[in-house]
Amino acid sequence: MIDSHTHLDACAPPEEELVGAARSAGVTRMLTVGTDPDSCRAALAAAERFPEVYAAIGCHPNVAQQLDERLLRELAAHPRCVAIGETGLDYYRDRAPRELQQRAFEAQIELARELGKPLVIHTREAVADTLATLHEKAQGLRVILHCFSMPEHADVAIAAGWWLSFAGNVTYPKSIELAAVAARAPIERLLVETDAPYLAPQSHRGKPNEPALVVETAAFIAALRETPPSELEAALERNAAELFGW
């Protein structure tokens, strides 16, 4: 089993406990994601400590003003870094000027292209501009729509060949349209994640999330697809291995 997107440094328990619990739950690989210089360094440190953990290095749109392209390139060259991001656009919190978000987004697209690594996308209330940028700037890149949340644009994403990564919110009773996409998305473009400590699946909703709980989201999606959980898990492991090279 895999967790394609987590934030170990943002979770309350020590990383040893988080990784150990995930291991006990059958999670053999996880991607911990940096969003600023400190969390990027923490992600790489965790990836060096635990064989199950790999890192993504990026500058989140909410802190786009902190973008240091030289530092990002240096950190992203680490052999345990297997993806660039999360990056994208966030008009919900509006913590950084939109022009700086766009500049940081495009810089990370080019870094992913330069290094030949997948690109992890965050978008919130900025779907139109995010999709426009990806179509214009990210042609030929492997794109992961983290915490997939745009069911109305699922066919566009699928046609583009992007990966759809579903978090615990797909299990919520009101996420009917999202669940419908998880049920029909091409199996070879499917991923699951926790985005821990956020978006715990329904059984733990309102509590902190952790990588071990990704198995619940995967089981929910397997039921939607009327697929044995073991078959879905094998496909998810295969997808992540091909995408991240771990």
Closest C-alpha to 161, from 137, 141, 136, 184: 141
- Rounded mean pLDDT, 46-62: 98
Is residue 94 over pLDDT 90?
A: no
Estimate to the nearest angstrom the gap between the alpha carbon of 7 and the chain centroid: 10
* Per-residue confidence (pLDDT) for residue 162, from 0 to 100: 98
Q: What is the pLDDT of residues 190-224, one digit of tens each?
A: 999 999 999 999 999 999 999 999 999 999 999 99
Domain extent at residue 204? 2-244
* Per-residue confidence (pLDDT) for residue 147, from 0 to 100: 98
Estimate to the nearest angstrom the gap between the alpha carbon of 223 and the chain centroid: 22
User: What distance in Å separates the CA atoms of residue 99 and residue 67, rounded to the nearest whole number?
Assistant: 13
Give 144's DSSP letter. Answer: E
* Percent of the chain clearing pLDDT 70 (strictly above): 100
User: Which whole-number Å values give the CA distances from 212 to 3, 138, 141, 171, 229, in the listed order?
Assistant: 8, 32, 29, 16, 15
Residue 165 phi/psi, 5° resolution? -110, 120
What's 209's domain CATH number? Answer: 3.20.20.140
* Per-residue confidence (pLDDT) for residue 114, from 0 to 100: 97
Is residue 159 over pLDDT 90?
A: yes
User: What distance in Å separates the CA atoms of residue 127 and residue 14, rounded to the nearest whole number?
Assistant: 35
* Per-residue confidence (pLDDT) for residue 211, from 0 to 100: 98
- Rounded mean pLDDT, 37-58: 98
What is the pLDDT confidence band of residue 121, given thresholds at 50, 70 and 90?
Answer: very high
Residue 92 tokens read as 């919900």
* Domains in the chain, number: 1
- Rounded mean pLDDT, 32-55: 98
Least confident of 35-44, 66-75, 89-98, 151-160: 89-98
SS3 of 191, please?
Answer: strand
Is residue 93 over pLDDT 90?
A: no
User: Which whole-number Å values give the CA distances from 69 to 45, 54, 74, 131, 242, in the listed order?
Assistant: 20, 21, 8, 23, 27
- Rounded mean pLDDT, 69-93: 97
- Rounded mean pLDDT, 152-167: 98
| Alpha helices, DSSP H, located in 50-188 | 69-76, 98-115, 127-137, 154-160, 176-184
The vertex-146 CA angle with 162 and 37, nearest 5°, equals 120
pLDDT averaged over the chain?
97
* Per-residue confidence (pLDDT) for residue 194, from 0 to 100: 98
